[in-house]
Amino acid sequence: MRTSSTRTTVHSPEDETPAREACGSAVEIEGDEVRLRGLAVSPGIAIGPVFLVTHEVPEVGVRHLSAAEVAAEKARFLEAVEAARREIQDLRDHLARNLGEEGAAIFEVHELLLSDQAVVEATTRRIERDLLSAEHVFTEIMEGHERTLEATNNELFQQRAADVRDVKRRVLRHLVGDRRTALTKLPERGIVVARELTPSDTAAMDPKRVQAFATDLGGKTSHAAIMARALRIPAVAGLHCLTALARPGDTIVVDGLSGEVVLRPRPLTLEHFELRRQRYLRLSASLRKIRDLPCRTLDGKDVTLSANIELPEELESLKEFGPYGVGLYRTEYLYLAKPGPPTEEELYQEFAKVVRAMRPHSVIIRTLDIGGDKKPDWMTFPEEQNPFLGLRGVRLCFEREELFRTQLRAILRASAHGDVKILFPMISSLSDLRRCKEFVEQAREELRREGKPFAEKVEIGVMVEIPSAAITADVLAREADFLSIGTNDLIQYTLAVDRGNEHIAELYRTFDPAVLRLIKETIEKGHRAGVWVGMCGEMAGDPLASLLLLGLGLDEFSVSPITLLEIKRIIRSVTFSEAEQVARWALELPTAQQVEEFLSEVIHRRFPDLQV
Ligand code: PEP
Ligand code: MG
């Protein structure tokens, strides 16, 4: 954490260096104006006063106890836990009223942490054994958990460390008093600037007063990001040193479209962002008008538009954008956010909740895709030289049969509540698909024997994300009900470019002719075998790719909820034959750069109003 003395140095040019160094190259300072670049995690543009949130964890010194004090200390600790638990329940109710049950679900993890006997019992045991104060022992135990989560090298897990910190602070406040910014004092239209925002913070705020969030830490799946999307306010995360540079009451611009944040903007900068804000508002208003209109081209071709979700909390904001189904429900979070494997019952409840909420639309549940960079703490993995080419997705599920069986049983049971389809990740050959289907068959037989209800017809799909699957799409399509192209991985495996390696990020080219040919072949082969072909990789939500994919005959675009209307707007404004022409021309170009330039020219010319 930066000190306030470092903060003041920014304002005298000779002392700018420390702030610049702390922030890396992503900061530009000109006079009093500071520009930072972070991750755009919730769209929109806001301009307003900084409301700086500081959470000092109360100072916890070592306090030794006499044996006679132990019983009272344990009781004091249990009371603090109980008080924290009551607060969490209140916050849950408050959120459920403001955001619905889905929004409140975030606090389930907190309740779980406090009902985790491993944490509570370990603390009381150590108070007794080591004769140390409750706050000291509890802090050590929670910080141990935090470190384990942070060391996982996994974004989702690292962000769950924020939950552990939040729960730790809450209990400590009951043990040693409060030093937190009173979030209830948030000014009208304030912009919340924080190192990180915990679910308790966001729940304590009056959502009507908050205009935007900007945080030093966090990514797309952090709670602040999810909350911002649920509240439909702009947010930028991953700004590293914003809290060190911002002063309460400073004017700040938060651009949740580009990821830019400007502190103390000059008049010209303000004018630029104000214009951008107005354009964005006009664009959003015009897009909202097509919310309930069909996703149909001018010459009458219908295309399915559906949403990618990762967390059930996202369902609320999904409804805002229209009546869509879920084209990809990534289920990893259910495994990563828990201290152990989820039970069949937990999975079933979670899936059934999503399926019921989406009725009458379908929900495509992707089976577990862990391995690679997503590794739950509680699971042991072999040492791998190339984890992305290793035990990942269905390959891992074949090794851990019990895990796979449990998930498939839960998915099938959820099919009793609505239209469920199953999607298998990391399929590299027909034998993989056949093996998956055998597992499904076995799960069906078990459920039948046990008299547990499930839908007899559940479509089975293959993710086409490995080049071998794209090349043999005809073979796979004969034994599947649908194909869904996962471009995030298809691009990395086709071009041999690690999707998470920032050193070669410029080689990760969505529009590489090799990738385009594989997509074209997959769609054609799927159609020839009589199955529909969708796309759930990020490319489906890229406006530049819309006409090309439409023209190649893609049947379903599954995109993140916030891009649904933009994609629909593009599809509704063209004829299918125009899109076919664009696809034909794009496929003739020899380099990714030429394809991108061509598509960008077409989109800018056809849709000038989509530019903000
Ligand atoms: C993909 O690979 O395109 C995809 C949708 O899956 P994930 O990003 O979860 O690997
Ligand atoms: Mg993938």
Shared domain check, 264 and 233: yes
Verify whether ligand 1 is closer than 6 Å to residue 309 (CB atom).
Answer: no
Phi, psi of 79 (to 5 degrees): -65, -40
> What average pLDDT does the segment 172-192 reach?
75
Total structural domains within the chain: 3
Shared domain check, 420 and 561: yes
Shared domain check, 514 and 493: yes
Place of tokens 């209307």: 565
pLDDT of residue 21: 52
Give a yes or no: residue 273 inside a domain: yes
Residue finishing a domain among 253, 286, 319: 286
Looking at the CA of residue 537, tell me the nearest atom of ligand 1.
3
Shared domain check, 122 and 33: no
Verify whether ligand 1 is closer than 6 Å to residue 488 (CB atom).
Answer: yes
Out of 268-272, 375-379, 465-469, which region has the weakest mean confidence (pLDDT)? 375-379
Give a yes or no: residue 185 inside a domain: no
List of residues 6+ apart from 227 with CB closer than 8 A: 103, 106, 197, 199, 202, 213
Could you give the percent of the chain with pLDDT greater than 90?
A: 59
Give a yes or no: residue 196 inside a domain: no
CA distances from 28 to 31, 42, 196 (A): 10, 23, 22
Give a yes or no: residue 575 inside a domain: yes
pLDDT of residue 99: 58
Q: Which residue has the higher pLDDT, 233 or 450?
A: 450
Cα(130) to ligand 2 centroid in Å equals 48
Contact 26, 36 (CB under 8 A): yes
Q: Which domain holds residue 122?
A: 67-176
Cα(475) to ligand 2 centroid in Å equals 20
Write the DSSP string, 1-50: ---HHHHHHTTSGGG-HHHHHHHGGGEEEETTEEEEE-EEEE--EEEEEE
The number of C-alpha atoms within 13 Å of 329 and in the hemisphere containing its C-beta is 27
Shared domain check, 233 and 166: no
Shared domain check, 302 and 268: no
pLDDT of residue 518: 98
Strands, sheet with 210-215, edge to edge from the N-terminal-most edge strand: 27-30, 33-37, 260-263, 251-255, 45-53, 190-194, 210-215, 235-237, 39-42
Looking at the CA of residue 465, tell me the nearest atom of ligand 1.
2
Verify whether ligand 1 is closer than 6 Å to residue 494 (CB atom).
Answer: no
Report the run of H or E that residue 113 belongs to, with start and end.
helix 106-115
Question: Residues with catalytic annotation?
Answer: 223, 536
Shared domain check, 530 and 387: yes
Cα(465) to ligand 2 centroid in Å equals 6
Q: Kindly report the protein residue whose alpha carbon is nearest to atom 3 of ligand 1.
A: 486
Contact 366, 534 (CB under 8 A): no
pTM for this one? 0.72
| Cα 428 from chain centroid (whole Å) | 26
- Going by pLDDT thresholds of 50, 70 and 90, the confidence category of residue 156 is confident
Shared domain check, 475 and 378: yes
Q: Interhelix angle for 564-572 vs 543-551, to 10°? A: 50
Alpha helices in 249-301 (DSSP H): 267-288
Give a yes or no: residue 182 inside a domain: no
Verify whether ligand 1 is closer than 6 Å to residue 487 (CB atom).
Answer: yes
Shared domain check, 211 and 171: no
Give a yes or no: residue 6 inside a domain: no
CATH classification at residue 210: 3.50.30.10
Give a yes or no: residue 8 inside a domain: no
Q: Kindly report the protein residue whose alpha carbon is nearest to atom 8 of ligand 1.
A: 488
What pLDDT digit, counting tens, does each position of 483-508 carry?
999 999 999 999 999 987 767 878 99
Shared domain check, 268 and 172: no
Shared domain check, 310 and 251: no
Q: Kindly report the protein residue whose alpha carbon is nearest to atom 1 of ligand 1.
A: 486
Residue finishing a domain among 224, 259, 286: 286
Shared domain check, 397 and 376: yes
Contact 46, 253 (CB under 8 A): yes
CA distances from 53 to 161, 181, 182, 395, 414 (A): 19, 6, 8, 45, 41
Verify whether ligand 1 is closer than 6 Å to residue 332 (CB atom).
Answer: no
Cα(407) to ligand 1 centroid in Å equals 19
d(CA 335, CA 157): 10
CATH classification at residue 484: 3.20.20.60
Verify whether ligand 1 is closer than 6 Å to residue 465 (CB atom).
Answer: yes
> What average pLDDT does the segment 263-272 reach?
97
Give a yes or no: residue 573 inside a domain: yes
pLDDT of residue 11: 33
